[in-house]
Amino acid sequence: MVINTGELRRISVFDTTLRDGEQAPGNAMTAEQKLDVAMAIQSLGVDVIETGFPAASPTDFKATRMMSEQLTDARLSSFCRSVPRDVEVAVEAGGIERHQIQLLVTGSDMHLEHKRGITREQAYAEVRAAIRTARELGVTDISIGIEDASRGEHDLLRGYCEIVAEAGATTIALGETSGCLVPAEFGDLTHTVRQWLPAETVLSVHCHDDFGLAVANTLAGLEAGADEMQVTLGGIGERAGNAALEELAAVLLYKAAHYGFTTTIRTERLYAAYQVLTRAIAMETPRNKAIFGQYSFATQAGIHQAGMLARPETYEYLEPSRVGRERSLLVGRHSGRGILAHLLEQLDVPATPELLDELYHDYIASRTGGECDELSVVRASLAQRFARSAGAAA
């Protein structure tokens, strides 16, 4: 492994939970809920929060206005088609102070022909007109988001880069919209586009998880020279979702020296922010999801528990408190006598072989399914049991 010993490069974090995440099925929120989630995301230390699509929805218009009035640290970004009216509505909703206008452009001939029905020249003319409108309204922070860039022809993509350079747009975002690339491919694309852009232009990467590679592709893009990652809390988003903010933040917390870059995300607040989101959209959490999964920091297997009781790091590389979680040991069919001896020690009860055998039969061996109990529940049950025994003996 090559360890980077130079100065760490700071990566900007662009959160699109309230746009790409919220537009996916089942994730719709009220304007008030979007504001609550935005405030929680801002507390994490993200750089930019995408508010939604103001021209497409009165709710997004209202939410954008509310966020522009109440967010104090993160900048806003509003999603717009490359249509002057969309830009006008976005500015009406969020003003121009600390407000980025993100213009969607079509990044592949497939999309131009089959979705838009327009030529490359028409697409270029659209974005030029939209940039001109934004400039006339006083917008200084303009991002060009290239949809389906991962399947875009290089000469088409280079044309957008030239427009960005000419018009002085501040950011260009590469959309891995269909989640079709592997990390080496996306890294190559990012490196190529970086060469076409002025040094001062921010290169952002926006990856989807159709192959389960959104986080890996984002890291590949950052290694290849991208300055910003577009992410969502919990990885929510279209189809299989987007690159998960919490996963990338955790990787860069632990592996900053390896990659040579880092973020300013306050990782210990991640889970609390996620809980605000799940309440807003009534989303259930999978048992095994990285960082946020119900049992991401839990174990019931006896071999694992033996190691964890001796030293948590034996099986727990990622420390739960650093991402706002707590460690959980469970008693279930796969547990062993070691966890029972641990509980007895906590209760100041001698762990004789006979007692361990009895408790093992009652609490572990007799289980037929995979159900498990929190350690605190079993501890309370044992405490009651020994209290009754002591009372009977008296």
Domain residue spans in the chain? 9-281, 298-393
In the prediction, which pLDDT does 175 show?
98
Phi then psi for residue 176, to 5 deg, are -90, 65
Q: Please, are residues 168 and 189 in contact by the beta-carbon 8 Å criterion?
A: no
H-helix or E-strand containing 277? helix 270-281
Q: What is residue 1's predicted lDDT score, i.e. its pLDDT?
A: 35
Token pair, residue 331, equals: 């008693």
User: Which pLDDT score, from 0 to 100, does residue 219 have?
Assistant: 98
**β-strands 99-106, 75-81: how paired?**
parallel
Please give the C-alpha separations between residue 219 and each of 259, 262, 279, in angstroms, as whole numbers: 9, 11, 29
Nearest one of 65, 142, 156 to 111, comparing CA atoms: 156
Instruction: Specify the pTM.
Output: 0.94
Farthest-apart Cα atoms in the chain, separation: 93
93: Cα separation from own chain's centroid: 26
Residue 16 confidence (pLDDT): 98
Rounded Cα gap, residues 230 and 46, in angstroms: 10
| pLDDT value of position 394 | 57
Please tell me the predicted confidence (pLDDT) of residue 66.
98
Which residues contact residue 272 at a Cβ distance below 8 angstroms, ignoring those fewer than 6 apart?
Answer: 40, 324
Those residues of the chain that have pLDDT short of 70 are 1-6, 393-394
Residue 369: its pLDDT value, please? 76
For 9-281, which CATH class? alpha beta
Q: Are strands 48-52 and 228-231 parallel, antiparallel or unpaired?
A: unpaired
